[in-house]
Structure formats: structure tokens, C-alpha cells
Structure 1
């Protein structure tokens, strides 16, 4: 364990996996995570970055295609962003912002008042859908709409 601090004069225990003693995740530094031998040569590092960009672009493109089609579109898009974040500061900042927003949304969703509201809205929606389906079955029976004859 290392010791780090958020405030001067205060020591905080940090494990080797980046988690603090209180369970919080330590922020990694921004910048390239390429191996040192690749960073040593400017041409090799630029080639590495181009390769990472192309692979990330392919993954993000596949995720965009999956949005209207079956598949985990958003998960794949964020996977591509994570690939980009291994080399590009802008992608690291986008992922940090996204992670912060998702964490905030998860905390709001766990709020008892919000959960109660969501359960009430869902229940009202189910009652409305059930009433509409019941009305349809009462009026037309189990005949599908495309088989209704003109009267």
C-alpha cells in the first residue's frame, strides 16, 4: 500500500490496484499509456496512436451500427471510447465525465423518493396499457388489426 493524500499533511492509504482505504478509486494521470519503448520513438508513438485511433473508431462505428440494430450499442461505443482513452486525453476526460454522471444517476435512482415515484409511474402505465388491451379485446376480440374486415 502507498500513502497519498487529498489534503496537505493528511495521509491516505492507497492499495496497489488504485483503491483508497475508504473504497474510493484514485484518479489515474492523464496521457498515453503506451509502453515506454513505444514512447521513446516519436515515429513509433505516432504510429501507435494512429493504430489505437483506427481500432477505437472501428469499435465505436460498430456500436453506432448496433444502436438501431440488435446488440449492445452503447456498451460497444463506450468500449471504443475506453480504447481511445488509452492514448488520448480528450477520451479520458469524456470517460471520467460519463462515469461521474452514471454514478450520480445511480445514486439518484437509489433515493427512496425517486424509487417510489418510479414505481407509481410504472404502475399507472401498466394500468393504462392493461385498460387499452382490455378495450381492444372487448371491441375486436383476438383478431389482429390487419385481419379486420371492412364493415
Structure 2
């Protein structure tokens, strides 16, 4: 908890860096375990271990999917969201990631950036098409490893 200058206690909102006195219970940093779990220290430790293992399993699955076709990064961030229900450090990582993704999306929507990316993409496609045409005209449809 963070104490603002007025002397009242408030929670830091997970979606931003602002401090408000009246916020929803689900938006504060910290454990979101049920109250009966938080009251018992051993039960809360088991709860946290279970959340950690569940998040670790999901993140492990996402890491396995990274080189394969599939939503590897999406699954990894899902595991981080599982950890974010219990661990403040994961909530802060997710908050930082959300800010960065929002800033990148805003920058990508800029018309100048879109025109630049379109120009770079067009030049790259034209260059690859030119190389493919040159190869076919020079060597025909013979594969590179069969040229010898």
C-alpha cells in the first residue's frame, strides 16, 4: 500500500502509476487469493506455490511453442497473467508490457510511420521479385543445389 500526502491509505492501480483512494478491489497490486486463503499463512503459501507452478507450466508450454507455428508469445503472456494474480512483480511486468504495446500500437498508427513501412515493404518485395526473375532467366527452374 502507498500512503498519499493526505495521510489516507490507498492502493496503487495495476493499470497505471496513479494512486487513488477509491479503486476496485481487483485493480490493486498484490494477492487476489480468496479471503479465507489469505487468512491462513500455510494455506496461502500452498496457494502461491500452486499459482507459481500453474504459471510455470503455461509459460513452459509457450516456450516450447516459440519455434513451432503457434501462439507461443500469447501463451507466455497468459502464464504471466496467471502469475499476476498472485505476485506483484508479475503485475508490474504486465503493466510495463501493456504500456509498451500501447505505445507501439500508437506509433504504428502514425500515418508517416505507415507510409515508411509501406515503402520499405514495397522495395523489399520488388527486390526479391527482381532477384527471382534474374535467377530464373539465368539458370532456369533448376534448384541452386543442383547447379553443379
Structure-2 residue corresponding to 1:59? 58
Deviation at 1:147, TM superposition (A): 2.6
User: Please, which moves more after superposition, 63-72 or 37-46?
Assistant: 63-72
Q: Which residue of 2 aligns with 1:85?
A: 84
- Matched residue SS, 2:27: coil
Separation in 1 of the partners of 2:109 and 2:89?
30
Q: Which has the higher contact order (CA 8 A, sep 6+)?
A: 2
Q: Which residue of 2 aligns with 1:97?
A: 96
**Residue of structure 2 in register with 1:31 after alignment:** 30
Q: Cα offset for 1:61?
A: 1.0
In 2, Cα distance between equivalents of 1:140 and 1:72: 39
Deviations 1:96-134 (A, max 9, x none): 000000000000000000001000100110110011111
- Does 2:120 correspond to 1:121? yes
Structure 2, unmatched stretches of 5+, are: 1-5, 7-23
What TM-score comes out, normalization by structure 2 length? 0.80
Residue 141 in structure 1 maps to residue 110 in structure 2: no
Number of paired residues? 125
Q: Superposition RMSD on alpha carbons, in Å? A: 1.6
> Cα distance, 1:88 vs. partner?
0.1
TM-score, structure 1 normalization:
0.79
Counterparts of 1:70 and 1:125, CA distance in 2:
24
